[in-house]
């Protein structure tokens, strides 16, 4: 029986919605197999109340800006289907290593795709890089690891035949990697045409642990894999670091069967390790959040039902239809972290579903894509609770997000209804892609992706920013969010932080000029997201600034915005002196109209213009000096309440 996932749109006082969409489609050959046609209907129901676990603590509103460092570039712009993965690592000596999926061009099928790599010795990163580190194969989805011998290992999947490429350098920070032939590929090992990809790996105490999921393409003679009643399941493998031998190959963890899951899902899982403690978290939209934990380096496992969803496995859809329940679940984006005490913490974007009947008459479920809660659970907790959400930038008590921001293209890759674009990543919610970290003092941090109110692309989708919440009491209460990126008119997405923090939270993410991705959201007919170069960015955020609440707003208390539309010039225009154009970064405390006036040294107005309505936060303003003679000039940026004047030099 063909399964169908259908889409609902939440209709409540918290949201302003536009036109509904009809279909859900991930337009990417390496997106999760659980991608099926959908239709949308309207449904009512509240977003859900904030639990007692989420603190309502007022915060300062001072915004701090950090240097963003460009690690590299990529034209392949889908860093994950849902869960962020393990892409950045803080080493004990303060050095930082980072990886991402990269491609130097947009050739059909991205044959040159591979793993991008950059390294900082604790002071400086290498110059921006666009090349891949593997010397063979079409790879991607890399995981960075520090091996026991002090060298670095990167495990990425080989997408053509399946399996994984293991790349190693001779010393930490070296860009010279040697790459193995595919390992853990069922073709060479079992002579079976199966494709395990989308891996997550960790290295600890002499072992490399890997979880992965099977992909299939029946038309391409790559059949579904069915084990324990689960179609294309998630599997566990273990490798000995010393000799590279495979100790365990693609086994199913204890209790992982069709009573829990009907299908696996690419990237609907996460893994962490600390010493001999290994934690594996699995989920998926409509599926349970499940934890497997080992305290003996992967020899034995115990299972924990994290979210205790009432309906599971192959019986889920039919039982939900009978019950009529609307159920909170996860959206498939998860992260897991083992703290210094060996305690496991789970994070996920909250999803919401209800049972229904598809057009074909099958039992199925519908989902609500406009969910705005990030969830946290720790061992010993009775139930998960909210640890993050979105920021109400205009302070009106309503999160105003366009329909384009949580919509996707139809089954034919086209826009539906009157949508201008469609920018949802897979089946994820509005608040999604958590990545967690802990510092030496036991403070916990979780970064995640969320659309930004008042920051709209001209095709009507909200741009995304990277937010952070923190906990000083081991996850009992959470404070946040604060906005780490604040780059207006820029899409900041796919965040990942190093599991360990020192005085800084080490964050990488992908940045470009258009909401969504080309791989999933480009409509050829409408031209909504053409292929463009994306930047992989890094920032070191002082944890003291996070813990002292000086970066952004606290949405738990939904404070009113300041009454004055103040403008602050963050940096001197660069370059300066200049001949043609120069950029200046500003910060607006409140959204509003902005104008610019250029005068000469005698006060004569040379140029004047309106910059339009800009949202609160950071903006880059370009100053055009074409036609100006050499000399000193002044530019004045004005809102309705305030003006700021700076000097510039034209050559």
Q: Round to whole Å and give the CA distance between 506 and 539.
A: 6
Query: Which residues lie across from 158 on neighbouring strands?
Result: 139
pLDDT band at 65 (very low <50, low <70, confident <90, very high): low
Does residue 428 register a pLDDT over 70? yes
Does residue 29 register a pLDDT over 60? no
CATH of the domain at 610: 2.60.40.1930
Domain count of the fold of the chain: 2
Q: Among 188-192, 312-316, 429-433, where is mean pLDDT lowest? A: 188-192
DSSP SS3 for 133: coil
Residue in the block written with tokens 């199925």: 364
DSSP SS3 for 520: helix
Per the domain annotation, does 362 fall within a domain? yes
For residue 323, what is the enclosing H or E element? helix 316-323
In the structure encoding, which two tokens stand for residue 644, read together? 């700021």
Does residue 163 register a pLDDT over 80? yes
The answer for residues whose C-beta is within 8 angstroms of residue 580's C-beta and 6 or more apart is 624, 625, 626
Same-domain status, 481 and 600: no
Which pLDDT belongs to residue 465?
95
Does residue 28 register a pLDDT over 80? no
Domain boundary among 547, 577, 606: 547
Domain boundary among 516, 547, 578: 547
CATH of the domain at 390: 2.120.10
User: 333 or 35: whose pLDDT is higher?
Assistant: 333
Which pLDDT belongs to residue 576?
86
Same-domain status, 74 and 120: yes
Q: How far is CA 518 from CA 315, 423, 495, in A?
A: 36, 9, 18
Per the domain annotation, does 138 fall within a domain? yes
Q: What mean pLDDT comes out for the span 287-305?
A: 98
Same-domain status, 541 and 574: no
Q: What mean pLDDT comes out for the span 556-572?
A: 48
Per the domain annotation, does 123 fall within a domain? yes
Report the candidate in 143, 266, 267, 115 with the shortest Cα–Cα distance to residue 208: 143
Q: What mean pLDDT comes out for the span 129-148?
A: 94
pTM: 0.80
Per the domain annotation, does 39 fall within a domain? no
Which pLDDT belongs to residue 209?
98
Q: What mean pLDDT comes out for the span 193-217?
A: 93
Same-domain status, 227 and 327: yes
Number of neighbours of residue 331 by Cβ within 10 angstroms: 31
Does residue 333 register a pLDDT over 70? yes
Q: Decide: 54 and 387 in contact? Cβ < 8 Å.
A: yes
Interval 603-633: pLDDT, tens: 889 988 888 877 766 678 888 888 889 999 9
Same-domain status, 537 and 573: no
Which pLDDT belongs to residue 89?
98
Give the CA radius of gyration of the chain. Answer: 24
Q: How far is CA 472 from CA 133, 436, 442, in A?
A: 39, 14, 7
Q: Among 41-50, 353-362, 482-491, where is mean pLDDT lowest? A: 41-50
Q: What mean pLDDT comes out for the span 130-136?
A: 92
Same-domain status, 539 and 571: no
Per the domain annotation, does 19 fall within a domain? no
Check the CA dihedral 289-294-295-300 and report its sign: positive
Listed in order, strand segments (DSSP E) in 513-616 are: 534-542, 567-569, 581-588, 592-600, 605-614
Same-domain status, 601 and 542: no
Q: Helices in 538-616 by DSSP H: which ranges? A: 543-547
Q: What mean pLDDT comes out for the span 578-589?
A: 80
Q: Round to whole Å and give the CA distance between 624 and 619.
A: 16
What is the extent of the structural domain holding 629?
567-650
Torsions phi, psi of 344, nearest 5? -95, 135
Report the candidate in 112, 116, 118, 117 with the shortest Cα–Cα distance to residue 137: 112
Same-domain status, 472 and 615: no
Check the CA dihedral 523-525-527-533 and report its sign: positive
Same-domain status, 127 and 232: yes
Per the domain annotation, does 453 fall within a domain? yes
Q: Round to whole Å and give the CA distance between 133 and 571.
A: 35
Which segment, 30-39, 543-552, 579-588, is predicted with the most confidence on average? 543-552
Q: Decide: 415 and 316 in contact? Cβ < 8 Å.
A: no
Q: Among 42-56, 229-243, 317-331, 549-563, where is mean pLDDT lowest? A: 42-56
Q: Which conformational region is residue 360 in: left (phi greater than 0), alpha (psi within -120 to 50 degrees), or beta?
A: alpha
Per the domain annotation, does 474 fall within a domain? yes
Average pLDDT, the chain: 85
Buried b (16+ CB within 10 A) or exposed e, 349-358: bbbbbbbbeb
Same-domain status, 535 and 629: no
Q: Decide: 487 and 465 in contact? Cβ < 8 Å.
A: yes
Same-domain status, 165 and 297: yes
User: 27 or 407: whose pLDDT is higher?
Assistant: 407
Per the domain annotation, does 23 fall within a domain? no
Same-domain status, 263 and 154: yes
């Amino acid at each position: 029986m063909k399964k169908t996932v259908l889409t609902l749109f939440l209709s409540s006082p918290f949201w302003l919605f536009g036109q509904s969409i009809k279909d859900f489609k991930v337009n990417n050959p390496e997106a999760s197999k659980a991608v099926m046609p959908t239709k949308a209907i309207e449904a009512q129901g509240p977003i859900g109340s904030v639990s007692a676990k989420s603190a309502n603590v007022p915060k300062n509103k001072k915004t701090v800006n950090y240097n963003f460092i460009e690690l590299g570039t990529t034209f392949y712009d889908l860093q994950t289907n849902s869960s962020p993965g393990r892409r950045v690592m803080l080493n004990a000596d303060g050095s930082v290593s980072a990886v991402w999926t990269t491609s130097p061009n947009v050739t059909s099928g991205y044959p040159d795709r591979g793993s991008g790599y950059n390294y900082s010795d604790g002071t400086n990163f290498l110059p921006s890089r666009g090349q891949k580190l593997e010397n063979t194969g079409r790879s991607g989805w890399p995981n960075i690891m520090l091996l026991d011998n002090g060298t670095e290992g990167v495990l990425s999947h080989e997408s053509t035949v399946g399996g994984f490429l293991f790349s190693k350098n001779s010393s930490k920070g070296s860009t010279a990697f040697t790459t193995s032939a595919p390992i853990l590929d069922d073709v060479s090992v079992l002579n079976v045409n199966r494709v395990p990809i989308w891996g997550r790996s960790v290295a600890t105490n002499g072992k490399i642990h890997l979880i992965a999921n099977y992909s299939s393409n029946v038309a391409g003679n790559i059949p579904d894999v069915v084990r324990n009643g689960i179609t294309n399941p998630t599997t566990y493998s273990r490798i000995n670091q010393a000799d590279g031998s495979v100790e365990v190959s693609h086994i199913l963890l204890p209790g992982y069967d069709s009573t829990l899951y009907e299908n696996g899902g690419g990237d609907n899982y996460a893994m962490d390790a600390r010493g001999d403690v290994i934690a594996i978290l699995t989920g998926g939209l409509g599926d349970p959040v499940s934890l497997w934990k080992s305290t003996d380096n992967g020899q034995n496992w115990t299972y924990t039902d994290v979210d205790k969803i009432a309906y599971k496995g192959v019986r889920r859809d039919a039982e939900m239809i009978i019950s009529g329940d609307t159920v909170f679940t996860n959206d498939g984006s998860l992260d897991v972290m083992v703290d210094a005490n060996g305690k496991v913490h789970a994070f996920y974007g909250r999803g919401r579903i209800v049972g229904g009947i598809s057009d074909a008459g099958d039992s199925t479920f519908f989902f609500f894509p406009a969910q705005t809660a990030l969830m946290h659970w720790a061992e010993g907790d009775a139930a998960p609770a909210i640890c993050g959400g979105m920021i109400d930038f205009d302070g009106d008590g309503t999160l105003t997000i366009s329909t384009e921001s949580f919509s996707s293209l139809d089954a034919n890759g086209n826009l539906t209804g009157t949508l201008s674009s469609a920018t949802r990543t897979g089946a994820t919610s509005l608040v999604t892609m958590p990545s967690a970290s802990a510092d030496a003092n036991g403070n916990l941090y979780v970064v995640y992706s969320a659309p930004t109110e008042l920051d709209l692309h001209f095709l009507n989708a909200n741009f995304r920013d990277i937010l952070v919440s923190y906990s000083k009491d081991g996850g009992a209460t959470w404070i946040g969010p604060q906005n780490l990126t604040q780059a207006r008119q820029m899409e900041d997405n796919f965040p990942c932080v190093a599991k360990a923090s020192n005085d800084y939270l080490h964050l990488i993410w992908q940045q470009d000029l258009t909401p969504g991705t080309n791989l999933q959201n480009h409509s050829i007919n409408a031209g909504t997201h053409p292929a463009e170069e994306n930047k992989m960015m890094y920032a070191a955020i002082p944890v003291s600034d996070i813990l002292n609440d000086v970066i952004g707003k606290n949405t738990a208390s939904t404070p009113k915005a300041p009454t004055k539309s103040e403008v602050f010039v963050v940096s001197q225009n660069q370059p300066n002196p200049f001949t043609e154009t120069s950029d200046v970064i500003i910060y607006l405390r409140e959204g509003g109209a902005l104008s610019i006036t250029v005068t000469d040294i005698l006060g004569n107005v040379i140029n004047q213009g309106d910059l339009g309505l800009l949202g609160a936060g950071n903006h880059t303003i370009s100053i055009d000096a074409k036609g100006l003679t050499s000399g000193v000039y002044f530019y004045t940026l004005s809102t309705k309440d305030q003006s700021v004047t700076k000097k510039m030099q034209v050559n």
